[in-house]
Amino acid sequence: MSYLRRRVWLCLLVVLLSFSSFWPDTAASAQKQTDPNLYSERLALYKKMEVLTSVPWPYLAAVDSYERGLRKALRDREQAKGLVSIYYPKEEWVGALNPNINDNDPTTISLFEGIGLDGNGDGKANIEDDEDVLYTFARYLESHGYSDEDFRIALWHFYQREQSVNIVSGHAKVYETFQTLDLHQHAFVMPLHHHYSYRSTWGAKRGWGGRRIHEGTDIFANYNVPIQSSSYGIVETIGWNPYGGWRVGIRDLDNIYHYYAHLNGYEKGLEKGSIVKAGQVIGYCGSSGYGKPGTQGKFPPHLHYGMYRDNGISEWSFDPFPSLKQWERADKNAKKNNS
């Protein structure tokens, strides 16, 4: 490389670097989510707590990823500063009658019946220390026992909400199956070589079912074009629904519920509790729905795809169109790079 060319490259690099510092938030947090080192550090932390408490690490990972989603969805919770997102109110950590709300002395904390524990043996029970928080939660789970049923009971006492219990135990099964935390890749909902078309229809009036708005994107394609899961996750619902026809609901590890409706049929073997990968075929495009079980052909075949977020209290839908565009582009690029 000539001297001049090297200088041009150097300038470009400097420009790029200075630009990237203008978007610290979006760029850095997006990178944080996919950083392989982050997954391995986090997993090491969970496994360390498993050794200390005998609580299986997928349980800890499941609660932590659920709590990460809650922090994103609940405005009054600040983002986690470390690797662990499990949230405790300060009063609970130090004890309700403790005059020192920032207490980190395990002796006085336990005197005031606070729950905070010292997980790393530094003599402090620090609510901002990942190991102390994770250890405190692991001990709580341990006090209920180690089986799946014990786990569900502990979760019920912690969240007092059936849906939260289901979501977290679903997360645990996904982690158990793949034995890694690196499960946030996505795929477009159909193989790209099939003909399909879609546009943004968020909020449009729907044809059937009264005054509800259209909560999703319709992707038109021929009968029996394979439908792929857009994410890793667990099948939470499967079966007939008067609006959606033969539909599947899959919960991913960002606590997003992906809804696939109007299918012609399911992939063989798919059932409630099945664990799926991003890009795995789950069913086939059809026109089922808008009536009694088996009703078909009231509209052209298409996939109705919806995305829902859970905030620990309720669920709401958001526009899946931008995500679909992003996954479609990523799949196209991957295809290009492979050929």
Binding site for Zn ion (CB under 5 A): 218, 304
Rounded to whole angstroms, how far apart are CA atoms 336 and 69?
33
Rounded to whole angstroms, how far apart are CA atoms 167 and 67?
11
Residue 316's identity, in one-letter code, is W
- Tell which residue, 53, 58, 55, has the closest CA to residue 150: 55
Rounded to whole angstroms, how far apart are CA atoms 137 and 124?
16
Instruction: Calculate the CA 78 to chain-centre distance.
Output: 18
Closest residue to Zn ion in the complex (CB): 304
Nearer to Zn ion, 235 or 261 (CB): 261
Shortest distance, CB of residue 134 to Zn ion, whole angstroms?
41
Sheet holding 226-228, edge to edge: 226-228, 281-284, 265-266
Nearer to Zn ion, 187 or 261 (CB): 261
Shortest distance, CB of residue 274 to Zn ion, whole angstroms?
24
Shortest distance, CB of residue 281 to Zn ion, whole angstroms?
20
Nearer to Zn ion, 218 or 310 (CB): 218
Tokens of 188: 């477009």
Shortest distance, CB of residue 212 to Zn ion, whole angstroms?
11
Burial of 68 (0-12, 13-18, 19+ CB in 10 A): buried
Shortest distance, CB of residue 216 to Zn ion, whole angstroms?
5
How does DSSP classify residue 205? B
Nearer to Zn ion, 68 or 304 (CB): 304
Nearer to Zn ion, 158 or 220 (CB): 220
